[in-house]
């Protein structure tokens, strides 16, 4: 879902002094180069502080923070923005989720050892939101407008090895925003040290080639490796490069070496083609990763070495038959997702990315569109490891930072697009580069020219993958964007599917966004206003699949048009998780969207089980709503079932209410006169009996805490996601409970965020308490650098308390 707000900001915010060279996130450092994390112990000041650029400035009274850090999520929700921006649309504050942003400054003294003298040094920022400026030792290094593009600064000349080095970062996120973007240094920062003769950042490209994928399990492959090496000395360098390939168990399989003379202060690109017979093919079912070790030697001495994870796979998009991976037809069962989570905002710890991917894998998702920007590098690494197919997406069309690009937008420098491709092209998970999302000018010849230039640039940097773009208009234009795309992405508009195929019969198609169903977890009111159903006064939309956002469709109207068309590669649901901002169809006090089939904590909504029913090969039978309807005795309640069972029978208090045959890709429904007790749905899937039950519960009686992991690592990064449940005396979740829970944590850890999935809850994300929403809440606990026992206690007036123990090593 995109915002159609024109942000009229020119490119003056992006200084060309930034060094835009970055190593792929799946390239691992070795002892020949050092990579030091700078995430710990930054001084932080909310507001402007131009004087802090001076290295002698005293920042001892500033707050101490660790990265990743989103300072916007630390604030309080306010109905009217206290910090208006002349650069953003008036309703941006609403779209941002009513959390104000303002400028801020970070400072840190970084340790650069004396041994770094004579080495090359650079600083690497994975993401800073946004419009950021950087100084080292009082000297400006550069600026970066984008909040998503990785920035790299060569500090060799400015650094003071063995002495004092003061790094200052100023951010001002009031200039760009489509939804809740966060604020601050919300991704990792590293200091890299290498020899003067070294592999250029992003200069290593691994491109496996397969002529015949065979049965799709193994295939003969040629691994093409391009390695750009810099000689930053004033002498020629007799340079040797050796590439070695290892399997997942560490066994060496193949190698190739060559040498050449690199002139002083120049670079040279080595090219190798290494045969890898019967390579194990990477796929969602078997995400097999090889390791390439690249070693650089000068006059017989090793000066640089990196290892790169890569996968071997074959992709093909067909205009008539859809998508093929390793020669086998595969339907893309995809999702779109933003990068914020309850409690932490955009400052997502690495483990939380993994936790979210685990939730997606459980429900049958095999693909992710990274909408609408470059993502945290660790997330790409995890997609490689866990087997998710990825559409990597560029944020803006052409050389601009406006939401909607005008027809006059140039496409010459391709700065952010080039950085995205160079950083991520070694990831086997990526199957498409998406150039932009939902541009009004999509049907124009000018837009086609911009796309043509961008596509040419991408294919020069990576000739192995096609490009796409996500379109919501221009479908009937023969001269627009579609004419220049390798694969056409269609957002919503299912009635246009056949029209586009008819006009462009040779273009492969996919649904880059479908659904935008709006629903609130655990809310079953069906009061109607305008085109919506739910509880308007409280800002909730019914969890029955009966409401969709503007231009969107409910799940049962969105997925069938895709799966019924053989020529479609698949679809990407908007969205996997709720996120802050875009609170349509509401305004204050609703502070986040309802588009996810999971809420912002990752608790499943009912439509989660619709997708799981048709995206997995396991038996699914999900019965809803809850059965606590005091005061509605004798009145009809709509009872729904999402299931892939062929037939389902419903029972109320032991009495059958009849069987219904399943219509694929649709729910089953009964009208049931409410009586307290128990409803049970029973079905059969491939001979296996499946059932689900809802019971009328008692009053809230006790708390239960469930940690997703109890054994943690004491590294200041690892975490456990703790689910908080309010139960009745019989141990059943009370589905209408709203109790306020107080938390107390002891041991070597900290609470980094709390949430409950309630889109109208104005309680802070940071704190030691949270109300449950319809029986559930969440606490995120993160370790420090000490081992020991961690205990989380939870209590609430009138409820039996609970505790859970974790262990940090």
438 is catalytic: yes
Q: Which residues have C-beta within 8 Å of that of residue 259, sequence separation ≥ 6?
A: 238, 239, 240, 241
- DSSP annotation of 282: P
- CA–CA distance, 629 with 543 (Å, rounded to integer): 16
Kind of pairing, strands 467-471 and 430-437? Answer: parallel
Catalytic residue among 124, 484, 513, 717: 513
Report the candidate in 507, 443, 455 with the shortest Cα–Cα distance to residue 481. 443
HSE (side-chain half, CA atoms, 13 Å) at 565: 27
- CA–CA distance, 329 with 213 (Å, rounded to integer): 12
Q: C-alpha angle with apex 81: 88 to 535, nearest 5 degrees?
A: 100
Catalytic residue among 438, 484, 517, 725: 438
- DSSP annotation of 737: -
Q: Which residues have C-beta within 8 Å of that of residue 167, sequence separation ≥ 6?
A: 38, 107, 108, 109, 110, 123, 134, 135, 136
Contact, 56 vs 109, CB < 8 A? Answer: no
Q: Which residues have C-beta within 8 Å of that of residue 456, sequence separation ≥ 6?
A: none
708, with CB counted inside 10 A (0-12, 13-18, 19+), is middle
Report the candidate in 457, 202, 488 with the shortest Cα–Cα distance to residue 322. 488
Please report, for residues 38, 79, 105, 796, the alpha-carbon distance to residue 762 in angstroms, rounded to integers and kept in the order given.
33, 11, 27, 19
Tokens matching residue 716: 């200041």
* Strands of 532-535's sheet in order across: 527-529, 532-535, 540-541
- CA–CA distance, 305 with 227 (Å, rounded to integer): 12
Q: Return the SS3 of 382.
A: helix
- CA–CA distance, 342 with 598 (Å, rounded to integer): 12
Produce one character per residue of 615-642: b if its CB has 16 or more CB atoms within 10 Å, e if not.
bbeebbbbbbbbbbbeeeeeeebebbbb
- CA–CA distance, 734 with 152 (Å, rounded to integer): 51
- CA–CA distance, 97 with 100 (Å, rounded to integer): 9
Report the candidate in 292, 342, 394 with the shortest Cα–Cα distance to residue 24. 292
Residue 230, beta-bridge partner list: 198, 267
786 is catalytic: no
Contact, 511 vs 572, CB < 8 A? Answer: yes
Report the candidate in 547, 555, 591, 557 with the shortest Cα–Cα distance to residue 576. 555
Active site residues: 438, 513
């Amino acid at each position: 879902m995109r915002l159609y707000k024109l942000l009229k900001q020119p490119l003056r915010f992006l200084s060309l002094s930034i060094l835009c060279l970055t190593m792929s996130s799946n390239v691992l450092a070795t002892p020949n180069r050092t990579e030091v994390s700078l995430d710990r112990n930054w001084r932080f000041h909310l507001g402007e502080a131009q004087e802090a650029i001076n290295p002698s400035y005293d920042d001892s009274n500033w707050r101490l923070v660790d990265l990743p850090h989103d300072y916007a999520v630390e604030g309080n929700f306010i109905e009217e923005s206290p910090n208006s921006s002349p650069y953003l649309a008036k309703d941006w504050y609403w779209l941002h989720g009513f959390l104000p942003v303002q400028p801020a400054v970070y400072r840190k003294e970084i340790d650069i050892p004396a041994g770094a003298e004579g080495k090359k040094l650079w600083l690497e920022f994975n993401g800073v939101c946004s419009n950021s400026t950087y100084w080292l030792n009082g000297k400006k290094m550069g600026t970066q407008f984008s909040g998503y593009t990785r920035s790299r600064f060569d500090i060799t000349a400015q650094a003071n090895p063995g002495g004092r080095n003061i790094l200052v970062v100023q951010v001002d996120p009031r200039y760009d925003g489509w939804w809740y973007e966060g604020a601050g240094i919300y991704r990792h920062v590293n200091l890299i040290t290498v020899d003067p003769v070294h592999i250029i950042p992003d200069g290593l490209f691994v491109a496996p080639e397969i002529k015949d994928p065979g049965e799709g399990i193994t295939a003969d492959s040629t691994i093409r490796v391009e390695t750009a090496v810099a000689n930053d000395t004033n002498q020629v360098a007799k340079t040797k490069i050796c590439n070695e390939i290892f399997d997942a168990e560490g066994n060496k399989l193949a190698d190739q070496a060559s040498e050449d003379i690199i002139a002083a202060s120049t670079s040279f690109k080595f090219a190798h083609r290494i045969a890898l017979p019967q390579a194990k093919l990477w796929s969602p079912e078997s995400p097999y990763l090889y390791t390439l070790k690249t070693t650089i030697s000068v006059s017989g001495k090793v000066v640089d070495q990196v290892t790169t994870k890569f996968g071997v796979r074959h992709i093909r998009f067909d205009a008539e038959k859809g998508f093929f991976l390793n020669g086998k037809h595969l339907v893309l069962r995809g999702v779109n997702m933003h990068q914020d989570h309850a409690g932490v905002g955009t400052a997502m710890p690495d483990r939380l990315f993994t936790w979210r991917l685990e939730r997606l894998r459980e429900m049958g998702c095999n693909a992710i569109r990274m909408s609408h920007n470059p993502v945290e590098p660790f997330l790409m690494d995890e997609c490689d490891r866990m087997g998710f197919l990825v559409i990597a997406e560029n944020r803006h069309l052409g050389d601009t930072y406006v939401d909607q690009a005008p027809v006059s937008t140039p496409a010459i420098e391709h700065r952010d697009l080039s950085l995205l491709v160079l950083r991520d092209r070694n990831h086997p998970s990526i199957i498409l580069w998406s150039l932009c999302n939902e541009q009004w000018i999509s049907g124009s010849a000018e837009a086609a020219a911009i796309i043509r230039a961008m596509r040419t640039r991408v294919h020069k940097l990576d000739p192995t993958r096609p490009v796409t773009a996500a379109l919501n208009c221009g479908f009937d234009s023969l001269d627009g964007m579609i004419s220049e795309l390798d694969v056409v992405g269609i957002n919503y508009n299912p009635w246009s599917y056949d029209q586009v195929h008819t006009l462009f019969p040779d273009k492969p198609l996919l649904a880059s966004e479908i659904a935008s169903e709006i629903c609130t977890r655990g809310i079953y009111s069906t009061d109607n206003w305008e085109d919506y159903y739910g509880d308007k006064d409280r800002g909730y939309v019914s969890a029955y699949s009966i409401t969709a956002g503007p231009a969107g469709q409910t799940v049962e109207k969105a997925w069938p048009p895709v799966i019924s068309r053989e020529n479609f590669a698949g679809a990407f649901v908007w969205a996997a998780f709720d996120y802050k901002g875009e609170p349509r169809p509401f305004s204050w006090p609703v502070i986040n969207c309802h588009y996810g089939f999971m809420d912002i904590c990752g608790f499943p909504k009912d439509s989660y089980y619709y997708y799981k029913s048709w995206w997995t090969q396991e038996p699914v039978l999900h019965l809803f709503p809850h059965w606590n309807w005091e005061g509605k005795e004798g009145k009809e309640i709509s009872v729904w079932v999402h299931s892939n069972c062929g037939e389902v029978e419903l029972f109320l208090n032991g009495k059958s209410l009849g069987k219904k045959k399943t219509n694929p890709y649709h729910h089953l429904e009964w009208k049931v006169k409410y009586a307290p007790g128990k409803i049970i749905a029973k079905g059969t899937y491939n001979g296996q009996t499946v059932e689900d039950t809802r019971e009328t519960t008692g009053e809230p009686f006790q708390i239960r805490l469930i940690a997703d992991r109890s054994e943690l690592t004491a590294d200041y990064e690892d975490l456990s996601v703790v689910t908080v449940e309010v139960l009745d005396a019989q141990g059943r979740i009370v589905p209408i409970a709203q109790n306020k829970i107080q938390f107390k944590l002891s041991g070597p850890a900290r609470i980094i965020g709390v949430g409950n999935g309630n889109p109208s809850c104005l309680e802070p994300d940071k704190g030691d308490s949270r109300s449950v929403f319809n029986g559930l809440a969440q606490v995120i606990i993160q370790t420090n650098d000490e081992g020991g026992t961690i205990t989380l206690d939870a209590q609430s007036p009138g409820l039996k308390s609970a505790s859970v123990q974790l262990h940090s090593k």
